[in-house]
Amino acid sequence: MITTRLVCISGFKQSMAKPNGIEKVWLSLRKHESPECRVSYKEWDTPWSDFAEHILRTGPSNPDKMRVCVFAYSWGCGYGSLELFKELKHRGFGVDSAVFADPVYHRWYAPWRALWSPIVEPQVEVPDNVGEVWYYRQSENKPAGHRVVPEKGNRVTVVHNPTFLSRTHEFMDEDPAFSDKCMEVASAATEQDPDARGNR
């Protein structure tokens, strides 16, 4: 069974056809690959229900024995990650940690809110099956990362204060601060004994 999942999610206009910062993170994280640990590269608009079913089918029967970490950029945070969190929650899985680079809110019915929101700035709201979130933002250009918060009623998830970087949005997933945090979180996840994991 695959007991550890390290999932890298790219942003809008990124794909497997061209190199990007998330792909570099994925390549670095592959040193943790083993029969029990899978490192995945996914695009932001992946069919997340299908992927969650794959995780369920190939993982341990006890969800508490599974460790999941997500590393994402832009719409990969504000849409892709949130959809994955939701689908995993429906299947009884928690997410230990997430690291976001310039997370941008996205909904299909209002994509313009990524660039312009005249009344209330949107927030990236994280569900209560996620343990801890770190994120990096910039204010050099648009789209600019949005605030990450626990969703209403969620008193479990720890969202750390954002770190602001002097980068434009296009290069946020290339910043060493983001990639170093991804490496740190992944190393901690793969070093922990699965039998010592608590409920999330």
Cβ neighbours of residue 128 closer than 8 Å, sequence gap 6 or more: 150, 151, 153, 154, 155, 156, 157
pLDDT at position 127 over 80 = yes
Question: For residues 7 and 83, what is the distance between their CA atoms, to the nearest angstrom?
Answer: 13
Q: What is the mean pLDDT of residues 6-22?
A: 90
Question: According to the model, what pLDDT value does residue 121 have?
Answer: 82
Question: According to the model, what pLDDT value does residue 107 have?
Answer: 64
Strands 130-137 and 158-159: parallel
- Contact between 101 and 74 (Cβ < 8 Å): yes
pLDDT at position 12 over 50 = yes
Domain membership of residue 59 as a residue range: 4-196
Residue 199's pLDDT band (cuts 50, 70, 90):
very low
Q: What is the pTM of this model?
A: 0.91
- Contact between 129 and 95 (Cβ < 8 Å): yes
Helices (H), the chain: 21-29, 48-58, 75, 82-90, 176-191
Question: For residues 103 and 72, what is the distance between their CA atoms, to the nearest angstrom?
Answer: 8
**Cα–Cα nearest to 73, from 9, 27, 137, 123:** 9
Structurally, the chain folds into a number of domains equal to 1
Q: Which amino acid is at 178?
A: F
* Phi, psi (rounded to 5 degrees) for 168: -80, 165
Angle between helix 176-191 and 21-29 (nearest 10): 30
CATH number of the domain bearing residue 159? 3.40.50
Question: According to the model, what pLDDT value does residue 47 have?
Answer: 98
**Dihedral Cα 73, 77, 83, 87, nearest 10 deg:** 90
pLDDT at position 111 over 80 = no
* Phi, psi (rounded to 5 degrees) for 3: -105, -10
Q: How many helices, marked H, and strands, marked E, lie in the chain?
A: 5, 9
